Structure 1
Amino acid sequence: MATPTIYVSPTSAHISASLNHLITRLSATSISRSNKFTVAISGGSLPKILAADLKSNTTIDFTKWHVFFADERVVPIDHDDSNFKAAKETLFAHVPIPREQIYTVEPSLSHDKAAEEYTQQLKKVFGADGIPQFDLILLGMGPDGHTCSLFPGHPLLEVEDRWVASLDDSPKPPPQRITLTYPVVNNAETVAFVATGEGKAEVLHKIFDLKEDFPSGRVTAKKNLLWFVDEPAMKGVQFQTKSYQL
């Protein structure tokens, strides 16, 4: 279980630069080791911050990337609520990741069947034995402390028998979603959170200083657990941080 390291930046632009630096290194290491780089990403503001510098990075071999979504809304992939659409517009349209190596939800299925089908896609890349171990999972955090589609007080927080779970009662619309579960998220070699804005400060204080239980605070990693936050999000947080950039 990795101890969290927090990198504080003055702006989201600085976070984008740090993510670009981190991913350049992790991608090269993973491709050298296994000839592929496996990554899962979330939606919200994350794709835009992630892509700002990364989309023009010509040193990365994007053809070796295999991209999943840490959670996804069960909507058509061209729908405005689709995390894939957000990532496509900000990043995928600018880098040469083969489309067949970007793994999307099947929106014609019910939410529970969509979760089962997404599990099969994971098995094609990671194999059926053991729990998938992503090289990197990139996560956001809501003001309520949720991450992926794992919400405070929801039964999915306790799921350990599935790689991908589904819900049809998301507190945030749209209600039908699929999400990676903690066994998969916490088995990643590196997990990197991105949290920006003063609206995140209270929950970060509760997670790091008061040790209160929130979905984001339950996330660990095999090797590296990193938080990239801006100064407004760290307002009032006393947890020991590293304020330099990667």
Structure 2
Amino acid sequence: MPGKQPNLFAFNDIDALAPALRSYIIACQNSGLTRHDVFKVAVSGGSLPNTLAEALLAEPKSEEDVIKFDKWELFFADERAVPLDHEDSNYALVKKELLDKIPASMGQPIVHPIDAEYLNDTQELADQYEKKLVGSFAKGDSVKLPIFDLLLLGSGPDGHTCSLFPGHPLLRETDAWVAPIEDSPKPPPRRITLTLPVVTHAVRIAFVATGAAKKEIMKEIFEVGNGLPCALVNEAAGDRCSWFTDNAAVEGVQFPRRSFL
């Protein structure tokens, strides 16, 4: 693997993982606030929002251990072409698991869901979401790619992340920031997703992967690569990429773990 390797952190269980993930996110948050007084983060769905809620809604343990939601600008790394209240919607999942549970005292993030007016046209849906990114990241300037302070992602059992699937032509997209997909191998088939160049240009990328069901694909991601989307992110981002896993997910994986300090 060229350059520096990604960081692999393994914990006994989710209760040990969550505080470490919180500390990591706070460090990314504070760096973002130092750079531009806002924390621009994108999240995916799956089991991630539940883990984020456990990490982010915990009681602060010190004056430095503070989540400043009122400084967050929250985007979605991918989204399904369904209404915002649909059970397949990543927005609905994040809202239910995390956003609706944020106490008023912690402030509220600015949230950027898809525009449900364009659900019947995934290309237009992607174009409209890209316009939201341009409005936030470009602000009149010409920038080649948006640079998120942090991406919070998961890994599917096939090694996909966002809605970037193994062997899919979308992995070769180099111009668009947000792209449509009509033939997702995992339902629902119609979606939009951040493209691989956007994902790999984030300041920091954190994957959360837990459970014994993940260990075979984790072996492939870390030992073989094989063009899997998660492996492509590892290769391009190097040590800007960190994995938060439980021991069950990386049992037998031949890749050096790092201790989380």
| Contact 1:188 1:222 (8 Å CA) reproduced | no
Report how far residue 130 of structure 1 moved.
2.2
Structure 1 residues 2 and 92: CA distance shift in structure 2, 3 A: farther
Q: Which residue of 2 aligns with 1:84?
A: 91
Report how far residue 57 of structure 1 moved.
5.1
2:237 partner SS: coil
Q: How do 1:112-151 residues align onto structure 2 when only pairs under 5 Å count?
A: 112-127=123-138, 128-151=142-165
State the AA in 2 paired with 1:172.
K
Q: Which residue of 1 aligns with 2:243?
A: 227
Report how far residue 97 of structure 1 moved.
2.2
| Contact 1:192 1:227 (8 Å CA) reproduced | yes
Report how far residue 168 of structure 1 moved.
1.2
For these two proteins, the number of residue pairs brought into alignment is 243
Work out which of the residue numbers 33, 39, 42 in structure 2 matches 1:40: 42
Structure 2 distance, partners of 1:22, 1:57, is 16
Structure 2 distance, partners of 1:13, 1:105, is 32
Gaps of 5+ in 2: 61-65
Report how far residue 217 of structure 1 moved.
0.5
Gaps of 5+ in 1: none
Q: Which residue of 2 aligns with 1:111?
A: 122
| Contact 1:147 1:216 (8 Å CA) reproduced | yes
Structure 1 residues 47 and 2: CA distance shift in structure 2, 3 A: farther
Verify: 1:3 aligned to 2:5, yes or no.
yes
Q: Provide the aligned C-alpha RMSD in A.
A: 1.6
Structure 1 residues 73 and 222: CA distance shift in structure 2, 3 A: same
Q: Which residue of 2 aligns with 1:50?
A: 52
Structure 2 distance, partners of 1:210, 1:223, is 18
2:245 partner SS: strand
- TM-score of the aligned structures, taking structure 1 as reference length: 0.94
| Contact 2:6 2:238 (8 Å CA) reproduced | no
| Contact 1:190 1:222 (8 Å CA) reproduced | no
Structure 2 distance, partners of 1:241, 1:54, is 24
Report how far residue 32 of structure 1 moved.
2.4
| Identical-residue share of aligned pairs (%) | 43
State the AA in 2 paired with 1:106.
D
State the AA in 2 paired with 1:7.
F
